[in-house]
A = this chain, B = another copy of it.
Amino acid sequence: MKRLDIFGLLKKDMAHIEQELFRSIEGDHELLNETSMHLLKAGGKRLRPVFVLMGGKFGHYDLEKLKHVAVPLELIHMASLVHDDVIDDADTRRGQLTVKSRWDNRIAMYTGDYIYARALQLATELPNPQIHQILSKAMVEMSIGEMEQIRDFFNIEQSVRRYLLRIRRKTALLIAISCQLGAVAAEADRKVGQLLYRYGYNVGMAFQIQDDLLDLCGTEKQIGKPPGSDMRQGNITLPVIYALQDEKVRVPLIQEIKRIHELNGECDVSAAVNMIKASRGISQAENLGSRYIQKALYALNELPDNRTKKNLKDIAHFVTKRSY
């Protein structure tokens, strides 16, 4: 299934959102325009705006209102990525040079600050304080998640629970509120917003688990960066945590991770990646991802039947099968 098959219904509206995204960061500051445009042009799946529009289908769908949520959510996601690249010391993302690499860390930091602030400014144009509350609360959680990630780099003793808490904050919450805020902006029933939140949360968890699996099992062409990037950064993901519980590979894998840590990730990580692939880690992570998808589908059950509900089901099924 291709992206456009799923989003076909929304194609025209998503083209409008894309325009609005570009307009949103246009300002009279040349350097900020350049860095922000660079980020936007690097692309991305625009998953969050799509979820907003789909959420809107459960209420009074009004693109002019929905864009004030859809654009900010994509901007918040982008801003978090540009700050992430500073932390990860990443030179490329989606096959493109990162802002910190093409310019520098300081410029990346302020580009992120600018995009965060623009996101909020756009959202506050919609005079609904509940939306502002949900957005700012999610930003608090995201920043905590980012900080946790730093602390957990190369921490081989972390639990599955700790990993799940981290990706909840890092990824799942923003997807959850994307679904929810679409419904809130369209003045759908409160209950609908809650169910969409639950759907988005579980899809988001599965999405991040799949991302972490792709980083180990995907090709550079599929994922837009060299495989094993997480390993190099010391980002201990779910398949790694499970692999570390597998007696067959635990001891040599710990040794490899320690070596990578000592070399600050500037080394070949394929030995570690292969150990993880040979362990039970991959299938266990896939299973947990599938369980989140089941929960997402379960949340959909109670929603009214319509074309969008079918699309949301398709997306859920697609998440664990995607290769990009």
**Interface pair B117/A143, CB less than 8 Å apart:** yes
**Interface pair B32/A144, CB less than 8 Å apart:** yes
Counting CB contacts under 8 A, is A129 at the interface?
yes
What residue in chain B is nearest A105 (Cβ atoms)? Answer: B105
**Interface pair B27/A150, CB less than 8 Å apart:** no
A95-139 CB mask vs B (1 if < 8 Å, else 0) is 000000000011101111110111011011111110011011101
Chain B's nearest CB lies how many Å from the CB of A107? Answer: 7
A184-202 CB mask vs B (1 if < 8 Å, else 0) is 0000000000000000000
**Interface pair A146/B113, CB less than 8 Å apart:** yes
**Interface pair B118/A32, CB less than 8 Å apart:** no
**Interface pair A140/B121, CB less than 8 Å apart:** yes
Given the interface pairs A117-B140, A121-B133, A140-B117, the reply to whether A150 lies near B106 with Cβ below 8 Å is yes
What residue in chain B is nearest A126 (Cβ atoms)? Answer: B129
Question: Residues of B contacting A113 with CB < 8 Å?
Answer: 83, 112, 116, 139, 143, 146
Given the interface pairs A83-B113, A110-B146, A144-B29, the reply to whether A127 lies near B129 with Cβ below 8 Å is yes
**Interface pair A106/B133, CB less than 8 Å apart:** no
Counting CB contacts under 8 A, is A278 at the interface?
no
Partner of A148, one of B29, B125, B139, B144: B29
Chain B's nearest CB lies how many Å from the CB of A254? Answer: 25
Question: Residues of B contacting A223 with CB < 8 Å?
Answer: none
Counting CB contacts under 8 A, is A147 at the interface?
yes
User: Copy number in this complex?
Assistant: 2
Task: Enumerate A5-39 residues with CB–CB distance to B below 8 Å.
Answer: 27, 29, 31-32
**Interface pair A114/B128, CB less than 8 Å apart:** no
Bound-state CA distance A144–B124 (Å) is 19
Partner of A114, one of B114, B121, B125, B143: B143
Question: Residues of B contacting A124 with CB < 8 Å?
Answer: 129, 132-133, 135-136
Counting CB contacts under 8 A, is A45 at the interface?
no
Question: Residues of B contacting A112 with CB < 8 Å?
Answer: 113
Counting CB contacts under 8 A, is A41 at the interface?
no
Counting CB contacts under 8 A, is A47 at the interface?
no
20 A-B residue pairs with Cβ-Cβ distance under 8 Å, sorted by A, are A27-B144, A83-B110, A86-B106, A86-B109, A87-B110, A106-B150, A110-B147, A110-B150, A113-B139, A114-B140, A114-B147, A116-B116, A116-B139, A118-B140, A120-B136, A121-B139, A124-B135, A125-B133, A127-B129, A132-B132
Other than the known A32-B144, A114-B147, what 12 A-B pairs have Cβ atoms closer than 8 Å?
A29-B147, A87-B109, A105-B105, A107-B150, A110-B146, A110-B150, A116-B116, A116-B139, A117-B143, A121-B133, A121-B137, A127-B129
Give residues in A with beta carbon < 8 Å to B. 27, 29, 31-32, 83, 86-87, 105-107, 109-114, 116-118, 120-121, 123-129, 132-133, 135-137, 139-140, 142-144, 146-148, 150-151
Query: A-B pairs with the 6 shortest C-beta distances?
Result: A117-B139, A120-B136, A127-B129, A114-B143, A113-B143, A121-B136
